[in-house]
Structure 1
Amino acid sequence: MYIGKFKISVWVVFAMCLIKCSLEFDPADNRLINCGSSTNVSVGGRVFLGDSSLNSSVVLSTSPKIPANTSSNSIPSSYPSDLYKTAQIFSGNSNYTFSVSKHGRHWIRLHFFPFAYQNNNMSHASFSVSVQDFILLRNFRTDIPVVKEYSLNVTSDKLVLYITPSPGSFAFLNALELVSVPDELIPHSVKTVESTGSYENLVHQALQTVFRVNMGNAAVNPQNDTLSRHWVPDGSFLNTPNLVQFVSKVQAVNYSEGGPTREIAPPSVYGTASKLNSENDPTLNVNITWNFNVDPGFRYLVRFHFCDIVSKSLGQMMFNVYINSWYASKHLDLSNQTSNKLATPYYLDVVMKETHSSSLTVSVGTATDATSYPNAMLNGLEIMKISNVKGFLDVDPASLKSGAKIKTGLIVGISVGVVFIIMIFALAFFLVIRRRKRTHSNANGNKLDGASEYGYRFSLAAIRKATDNFNESLIIGVGGFGKVFKGVLDDNREVAIKRGNPDSQQGINEFQTEIEMLSHFRHRHLVALIGYCDEQSEMILLYEYMENGTLKSHLYGSDNPILSWKKRLEICIGSARGLYYLHTGSAKPIIHRDVKSANILLDENLMAKVADFGLSKTGPDLDHTHVSTAVKGSFGYLDPEYLIRQQLTEKSDVYSFGVVLYEVLCGRPVIDPSLPREMVNLVEWATKQQKKGGLEKIIDPNLAGQMKPESLRKFLETAEKCLAECGLDRPTMGEVLWNLENALQLQEDEASSQDSDDVSLRTDEGRPLQSLSSTRQYSMGSAGDIVDISMNTVFSQMRNGTMR
């Protein structure tokens, strides 16, 4: 009987092992290489093959190749000594070519353990590593052991990893991994922290794991992770460790169907946590904060891992989650995210916009209006760098030194510039006041007692009063610069108040650009700047309030009334007038650089005004064709020529406006990952359908029966020309504007004649602006469109009572 029970138990254990093995992820590609060695090495049950005896699935091409060996006693005990006893040294350009069994995202792990070998000290090596279209390392050197982990989407049957020594130097590599990643590990679309939108381009980007942290101050070794990941303890990153209580209940973790799997994170991560130590203070209202050093100039994908192993009943764990003081999640209730099950894993992905700071902070804190006991917790964290528009994942160390000098010069330059601008403001303000007082004196025979003075700089107290101390219920938008509040001034004027986030990557640059641009230009189709506040390091801008919000919100994604075809044409015309004025209203053109439907605002009469000039840039001189500058703008709207060559022209705005025209026609987002693959990108899909004659498939169904054929034809022709691949083939904004006016006239009276002998484009004053290859006449609109206004009159309607 005992023997029978023993046999049954053995079979049960065996069956459980089979089930466990079948559930674990089995990578289609699992290339592990022990570089510079002819022998295989087993590390934690994983076998690394010597690269001098590789099979046909991996080919090493190098000339010459120099294997190097060291004694194991020079390797710290925390490292797998057998793997790091050898290295491959590359004195010339070399590459590893891998055959790929399954397309999709793969991990590439590069192991570096520098040691001295003959006349080569590997800590002196300097080299670059690239793969596909991505630069993983640039002029890299290290004098400490390090493992670099990257992931990228492989779409071909072969993958080539290039290793390029810097001039006069060499390269080395101790071990190399190419491993398939589960499809669900990296999403295609992730919400962004600073706005309500999402980052849609992740599938095409390479990622680098910068930090993989296990909370609860406990390390997780690769042997305890089904994907062989190493998780470091969080203790060294904590800002206020005295507020934290470390918790460990690994056995309590309960993976549920449809939720995160062990491949997302193992039980040893979800089973440990750092929680707010609030047991002795039920009124505690603080955050737990972790600080991380990151490379500036990149976006970051941040993944938060949660598992409520603390609460004894549901609904006890509600808190806020922050990145750099931005909400990643407000009032996160874990029970709502886990089908009302305790100790069930949940993870949250967010993307940070490109940052100019070398610091990234992550916080969890009590929700002020939570009904439960104040609490907050985090189980694990991953921070992944996203490749930039050039395909780089690394900063050239040499550029950091020169960058420091440039940054110092930039700060000095900005400081001098700000002082100069303030002096101009002060002088202009003084002259205005003196002139106004003189006017009052001349009119009345003496000074007018208590006469109001005028200015443009609001006090912080006035801003706080206008926004009910920045009451979040008054937020009407969130952007890369900061939050936008609706406010009411003392004279009952409604205004939009944009408060800069001190950690915003745009920061002072956008603040200054907005003031500079909108102080020099006024036009009825540009959102007017009312004033600003820079008190107590605040960066606050005040604009005229636009009652009907963004064009985007009227096209899709909201309950706003449907816009008619005629109204859409009028909005496009108004927007084009604003952009045309930017391009032609001064000696040098002003390029908006972020034209999109979210930056076209509508007033109470649905009149369009172009907004958000924080990325705007002065265009080239007459003797230049473009401005060379870093790529800025919004994904889906970017001019491909500008994106590739970094050469900015007015035609870059024209391309973006062409994308807006398709949005207006189709009534859908520029990028929509929820649609079938061929429909995700609006421009690509609409262009293909137009060429195939499938117009009925792309036009917003809400416009059915409203559009006259001639008007639609002219509109489509205009949009198509705006989206020409080559900027020289695109029309000017003046030509776009004329064509849209023509489309509106055809809509209103398709029988009316459009022919004329006038071939010039004129302002309302009759001054010719630009010749057009056309035989039709164009009108700018009413004389009130353009207001030539100097700095001292920009803010003339603001009363002294609300300013300092």
Structure 2
Amino acid sequence: MHMTMLGKGIRILLVGVISVFFLQCSCKGYNAPDSYLLDCGSSTNTTFGDRVFLADNSEASKFLSTPQDVLASSSSNSNGSSPFYKTARIFTGTTKYTFPITQKGRHWIRLYFSPFVYNSYNMSSAKFTVSTESFVLLNSFTTTSSVTKEYSVNVTSDSLTVTFSPSSNSFAFLNAIEVVSVPDELIQDDAALLPSGNYQGLLAQALETVHRVNMGGPAISSLNDSLWRSWVNDWNFLINKGLAKNVTNIGAVNYVPGGASQNIAPNIVYGTLTEMNSADNPSSNFNVSWLFDVDLGFRYLVRFHFCDIVSNSLNQLYFNVYIGTSIIVDSLDLSTRTFNTLAAPYYLDLVTDLADNTTLRVSIGPNTENGAYPNAILNGLEIMKMNNTMRSLSGDSSSVLSGSNSNSHVGVIVGSSIGVFLAMVFIVALFICCQKRRRRLARQGLTKTWIPISINGGTSLTMGSKFSNGTTATIASSLGYRIPFVAVQEATNNFNESWVIGIGGFGKVYRGELGDGTKVAVKRGNPKSQQGLAEFQTEIEMLSQFRHRHLVSLIGYCDERNEMILIYEYMENGTLKSHLYGSGLPSLSWKQRLEICIGAARGLHYLHTGYAKAVIHRDVKSANILLNENLMAKVADFGLSKAGPELDQTHVSTAVKGSFGYLDPEYFRRQQLTEKSDIYSFGVVLLEVLCARPVIDPTLPREMVNLAEWAMKWQKKGQLEKIIDQDLAGKIRPESLRKFAETAEKCLEDFGVNRPSMGDVLWNLEYALQLQEAVLLGDSEDSSMNMIGDLSPQVNNFSNLDASVSAADIHAKEGPANDDASRVSMSRVFSQLVNSEGR
């Protein structure tokens, strides 16, 4: 017995030592462009870990626009363990700190308070407001204990001002302040919305950290987090402690490209967790729950951190995630969300509805539908309050922003009240209309569970009388319209499993046939898929706006019976990927492969240039390039597509999405999306076409696993021909291969600014085809090696030559003639470019 207790003690000691080791190793530090650290009231600089807080009575006083003379200090040891809590600056009047901002974006604002008595000032009785130019952070704030307040705000100007305003007959105080840049990847613009749908606009929100919890692991101080955050242990939040147990396996954490990085949360968070204490009972069926205090009337951004460090293999753990009584994720399988990598960190963001209770319950529970052992895990949790409609993070919604006078404040209150009243009237009217519509649809057997999707900025259109008595759909009637579920059933022979032609992240794809004999492909969303409503809506919105002979056409969609179904034109020859490897189909000739690449490039070029704002595909890969009966290529799958940056912006900040192996490394590093991310992915496709092998193949030797890295090593040696598809050996003219390889290499440049545009890529692929088909008279070795940047100006305006007509144009001018414009995309231009007299 003594030996057992001794062994247990040794194990606990080892876990503690390992935790401390990984805490130290995980803190690599983030190089913040802006970092202002002030120890208020101090006469000397204060070192805290590897950071130095400046004394604000010397050099740091330059940030004070209205400096005050009261600098307080305390010799007491009872006012907190932080080194900042021994001194304070007291403000008897409104005072502002103004910090220059070198890189716009989200910034931390951390405020340290620890009251003590200094002369006649008892800081426990201080009452004051803290605000920025745009948000109220604290209103009528008072504290009797040491507290750190952490906020993050998006700074869009060249400076950030933090204002302290004492209440009447009172004063304000501050022990220390931080203003530090936040990495772009940390907070994205969109998140899931409770109870359903998507929330967009997070970048414009001010956030206050209310709870940051490390489940199953130790508390983490700011010294051991790369972004200087503090994490607490979850023990005090557990509702029933006996139902939970802790697991530690920090060494198993495996960060992967496209997943959560170490800035999202440190190793110690992902390497420890709380799981169900099933006690080896395969019939266990209960939830593990935590309860957190929140303020009424605010939305909250809740971030769940997961990392499966308990499973021995993929697809072993399935569980449900809840907020309150709502299921947030049903049958979560982390394997499908981490590129099929075990123990890879993953996080999930969700925005709650306005809090109508002072507590928020978070739960995890088992899902055994797949025959899995009952278990559920949670590694970490963050709860961040979002500003209300008054742009306040204070419980008092009548807070005044800095610089506002009483009259403007009254105006804001009156205006907001009127706005709220009108909004309520609108909501009631909308509810009545929806109820009437629901009853009408119910009589027709078409009841739905979510609002119809808007097409082209207008209202969703129903097929009306055409489908009121029958189920026959035709191309002419269904283009851009909702198609009833019964018509889709008929077209797919009631979703006959033998008609399945593909399975993807969204769900199964069936071949089908409409009433007029037109063949279609029907993509039916899987309700348990990691892709969902957002991708469904994006696909419809994108394809209803664009018509191009090298983009797969959307015929219709169905959103009845809680289904998400997309109907496309049928592509007889399937995916480009299936013709390259793995399916046993006949090998494509080099000319066919070039023509397919050219077609795909035309489609992508139109996306990038043929609309008011560039559209970035975000998932360019050989599986998303489809081939019709003539092997003409069409780009498909627009569920991850995103509108490009505005004219005055260089990029779009967004969560990293895409397919492993094709993912732009710069996009992954910086979470900054541009059309050059598509260029990188297309470069990988070019190598896939040339080498006819998967882009990632873990069965191969280590140096060959990643196609892009492996092929570029051979390209730099000038020996790429040694690794090309054996079916092409001796069949490619050296000049054509050289131009093609140069193009792929340019596409795969590390930095997007060095990559060509899709128009440039298209020109070079056309050139490679011409070099393959004929030896150009008078062409020298040098001319066949023209670099991508050396193009005639007329090639850079393909948008005026390529086929691009709106859906309205299609309705107005039906028939194949609409595609004619695209046939001039290169022929006339290229004849001038390759002819020495035409240059």
Give the TM-score normalised by structure 2.
0.52
Aligned to 2:760: 735
Aligned to 1:790: 808
Aligned to 1:30: 21
Q: What is the Cα deviation at residue 296 of structure 1?
A: 6.4
Letter of the 2:149 counterpart: S
Query: C-alpha offsets along residues 317-346 of structure 1, whole Å, 9 cap, x if unaligned?
Result: x9987783467399xxxxxxxxxxxxxxxx
Q: What is the Cα deviation at residue 719 of structure 1?
A: 1.6
Query: C-alpha offsets along residues 635-659 of structure 1, whole Å, 9 cap, x if unaligned?
Result: 5545556566666554443333223
- 1:583 equivalent in alignment to 2:586: no
Q: Distance in 1 between matches of 2:680 and 2:731?
A: 26
Letter of the 1:418 counterpart: S
Q: What is the Cα deviation at residue 572 of structure 1?
A: 0.6
Q: Distance in 2 between matches of 1:714 and 1:790?
A: 39
Q: What is the Cα deviation at residue 462 of structure 1?
A: 1.8
Task: Point out where structure 2 has 5 or more consecutive residues left out of the alignment.
Answer: 25-47, 56-72, 89-112, 118-122, 124-142, 152-177, 188-205, 235-246, 293-299, 322-328, 336-340, 353-361, 394-415, 417-421, 431-449, 467-473, 781-788, 816-839
Aligned to 2:574: 549
Conserved 8 A contact 1:115-1:123: yes
Q: Pick closer, same or farther for the CA change 1:723–1:482 going to 2, 3 Å.
A: same
Aligned to 1:372: none
Letter of the 1:454 counterpart: S
| Among candidates 694, 704, 707, match of residue 729 of structure 2 | 704
Equivalence map 1:584-603=2 (5 Å): 584-603=609-628
Q: Pick closer, same or farther for the CA change 1:539–1:515 going to 2, 3 Å.
A: same
Q: Pick closer, same or farther for the CA change 1:537–1:203 going to 2, 3 Å.
A: closer
Q: Distance in 1 between matches of 2:802 and 2:184?
A: 51
Which one is further off, 641-650 or 715-724? 641-650
Aligned to 1:328: 333
Q: Distance in 1 between matches of 2:281 and 2:618?
A: 46
Conserved 8 A contact 2:626-2:634: yes
Query: C-alpha offsets along residues 691-747 of structure 1, whole Å, 9 cap, x if unaligned?
Result: 233425653455333322111101011122333455454333232212112212222
Query: C-alpha offsets along residues 551-586 of structure 1, whole Å, 9 cap, x if unaligned?
Result: 234444555444443332121111012122333444
| Among candidates 694, 709, 722, match of residue 747 of structure 2 | 722
Q: What is the Cα deviation at residue 533 of structure 1?
A: 1.6
Equivalence map 1:623-702=2 (5 Å): 624=648, 626=650, 628-631=652-655, 633-634=657-658, 635-639=660-664, 649-672=674-697, 679-696=704-721, 698-702=723-727
- 1:498 equivalent in alignment to 2:503: no
Q: Pick closer, same or farther for the CA change 1:463–1:583 going to 2, 3 Å.
A: same
Conserved 8 A contact 2:215-2:380: no
Q: What is the Cα deviation at residue 127 of structure 1?
A: 3.5
Q: Secondary structure at 1:522's aligned position in 2?
A: coil
Q: Secondary structure at 1:552's aligned position in 2?
A: helix
Conserved 8 A contact 2:23-2:268: no
Aligned to 1:608: 633
Task: Point out where structure 1 has 5 or more consecutive residues left out of the alignment.
Answer: 1-8, 34-56, 72-84, 94-113, 152-157, 165-170, 190-198, 213-226, 235-246, 249-270, 277-287, 308-317, 331-346, 368-374, 386-392, 434-450, 756-770, 798-804
- 1:125 equivalent in alignment to 2:130: no
Q: Secondary structure at 2:477's aligned position in 1?
A: coil
Equivalence map 1:349-388=2 (5 Å): 363-366=366-369, 377-383=373-379
Q: What is the Cα deviation at residue 463 of structure 1?
A: 2.0
Letter of the 1:790 counterpart: A
Letter of the 1:27 counterpart: I
Q: What is the Cα deviation at residue 424 of structure 1?
A: 8.6
- 1:418 equivalent in alignment to 2:466: no
Conserved 8 A contact 1:485-1:497: yes
Equivalence map 1:160-179=2 (5 Å): 163=228
Q: Distance in 2 between matches of 1:703 and 1:524?
A: 28
| Among candidates 180, 185, 196, match of residue 252 of structure 2 | 185
Q: Pick closer, same or farther for the CA change 1:748–1:400 going to 2, 3 Å.
A: farther
Q: Distance in 1 between matches of 2:596 and 2:86?
A: 62
Query: C-alpha offsets along residues 338-395 of structure 1, whole Å, 9 cap, x if unaligned?
Result: xxxxxxxxx976876866566997652346xxxxxxx66314534568xxxxxxx886
Conserved 8 A contact 1:497-1:543: yes
Q: Pick closer, same or farther for the CA change 1:123–1:470 going to 2, 3 Å.
A: farther
Q: Distance in 2 between matches of 1:304 and 1:174?
A: 18
Conserved 8 A contact 1:718-1:739: yes
Q: Secondary structure at 1:231's aligned position in 2?
A: strand
Conserved 8 A contact 1:619-1:650: yes
Q: Distance in 2 between matches of 1:603 and 1:400?
A: 52
Q: Distance in 2 between matches of 1:786 and 1:60?
A: 56
Q: Distance in 2 between matches of 1:738 and 1:490?
A: 41
- 1:713 equivalent in alignment to 2:738: yes
Q: Distance in 2 between matches of 1:787 and 1:32?
A: 57
Q: Pick closer, same or farther for the CA change 1:453–1:496 going to 2, 3 Å.
A: closer
Conserved 8 A contact 1:754-1:776: no
Q: Distance in 2 between matches of 1:504 and 1:585?
A: 32
| Among candidates 438, 463, 477, match of residue 454 of structure 1 | 477
Conserved 8 A contact 1:89-1:172: no
Aligned to 1:773: 791
Equivalence map 1:486-525=2 (5 Å): 486-500=511-525, 507-525=532-550
Query: C-alpha offsets along residues 305-326 of structure 1, whole Å, 9 cap, x if unaligned?
Result: 579xxxxxxxxxx998778346
Aligned to 2:274: 231
Q: Secondary structure at 2:486's aligned position in 1?
A: helix
Query: C-alpha offsets along residues 182-229 of structure 1, whole Å, 9 cap, x if unaligned?
Result: 67522456xxxxxxxxx77568775469999xxxxxxxxxxxxxx9x6
Q: Pick closer, same or farther for the CA change 1:209–1:462 going to 2, 3 Å.
A: farther
Q: Distance in 1 between matches of 2:346 and 2:490?
A: 31
Q: Distance in 2 between matches of 1:687 and 1:660?
A: 13
Q: Secondary structure at 2:367's aligned position in 1?
A: strand
Q: Secondary structure at 1:731's aligned position in 2?
A: coil
More strand as a share of residues: 1
Equivalence map 1:107-256=2 (5 Å): 121=144, 124-127=147-150, 141-142=209-210, 147=214, 163=228, 185-187=252-254, 207=265, 231=274, 248=279
Query: C-alpha offsets along residues 450-473 of structure 1, whole Å, 9 cap, x if unaligned?
Result: x99834321012223334555666
Q: Distance in 2 between matches of 1:92 and 1:163?
A: 21
Q: Distance in 1 between matches of 2:391 and 2:552?
A: 39
Conserved 8 A contact 1:477-1:484: yes
Q: Pick closer, same or farther for the CA change 1:753–1:473 going to 2, 3 Å.
A: farther
The count of aligned residue pairs is: 570
Aligned to 1:110: none
Q: Distance in 2 between matches of 1:534 and 1:62?
A: 57
Aligned to 1:275: 284
Aligned to 1:303: 308
Q: Pick closer, same or farther for the CA change 1:92–1:663 going to 2, 3 Å.
A: farther
Q: Secondary structure at 2:284's aligned position in 1?
A: strand
Conserved 8 A contact 1:672-1:681: yes
Conserved 8 A contact 2:656-2:667: no
